[in-house]
């Protein structure tokens, strides 16, 4: 039996930029307590098309001003807002590219959580 082949289970990037195209002119703000803005968190749901173990996530995330840190959580959707205590994995990003660069941020899974086809998950930032 051969090695398992990677499978893309969800993708909302466009076909340009090597399959990682997204609009750098449209974004959702994330702001912490010490940024001078109101505190803002963002999360988006996604539903995998096939089941499998998580290895990588690519996100269109970057900094606009000099604030250069955010935390990404992967949380199962249990029918309510994401509950961080249920996070399958968490990444702390401290070296974000400029949002205007247009390339994705690559997150590597350490936990290799099993994602189930048809089950929704939240990918959220704070």
Question: What's this model's pTM, rounded to 2 decimal places?
Answer: 0.73
44 within domain boundaries: yes
For residues 51 and 117, is the Cβ–Cβ distance under 8 A?
yes
Q: What is the C-alpha to C-alpha distance for residues 109 and 126, in angstroms, rounded to an integer?
A: 18
Strand partners, 55: none
3 within domain boundaries: no
33 versus 41: the higher-pLDDT residue is 41
8 within domain boundaries: no
Which domain range does residue 50 map to? 16-125
31 within domain boundaries: yes
125 versus 110: the higher-pLDDT residue is 110
81 within domain boundaries: yes
- Structure tokens given for 80: 């309510």
Share of the chain above pLDDT 90, in %: 13
5 within domain boundaries: no
7 within domain boundaries: no
The helix (run of H) or strand (run of E) holding residue 17 is: helix 16-19
- pLDDT tens sequence across 48-73: 888 989 998 888 777 766 667 778 88
Q: Reply yes or no on whether the pLDDT at 78 is more than 80.
A: yes
Considering its fold, how many domains does the chain have in total?
Answer: 1
**In whole angstroms, how large is the CA radius of gyration of the chain?**
15
Q: What is the C-alpha to C-alpha distance for residues 112 and 74, in angstroms, rounded to an integer?
A: 11
- pLDDT tens sequence across 83-105: 778 889 998 888 777 766 656 78
11 within domain boundaries: no
- Structure tokens given for 115: 């994602």
Q: What is the per-residue DSSP string for 71-84?
A: EEEEEE--SSS--G
């Amino acid at each position: 039996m051969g090695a398992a082949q990677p499978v893309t289970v969800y993708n909302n990037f466009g076909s340009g930029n090597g399959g990682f195209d997204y609009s750098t002119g449209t974004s959702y703000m994330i702001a912490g307590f010490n940024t001078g803005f109101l505190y803002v968190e963002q999360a988006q749901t996604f539903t995998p098309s096939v089941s499998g173990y998580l290895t990588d996530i690519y996100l269109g995330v970057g900094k606009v001003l000099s604030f250069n840190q955010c935390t990404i959580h992967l949380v199962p959707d249990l029918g309510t807002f994401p509950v961080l205590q249920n996070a399958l994995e968490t990444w702390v990003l401290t070296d974000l590219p400029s949002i205007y660069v247009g390339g994705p941020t690559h997150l590597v899974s350490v936990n290799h959580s099993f994602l189930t086809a048809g089950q929704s998950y939240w990918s959220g930032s704070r």
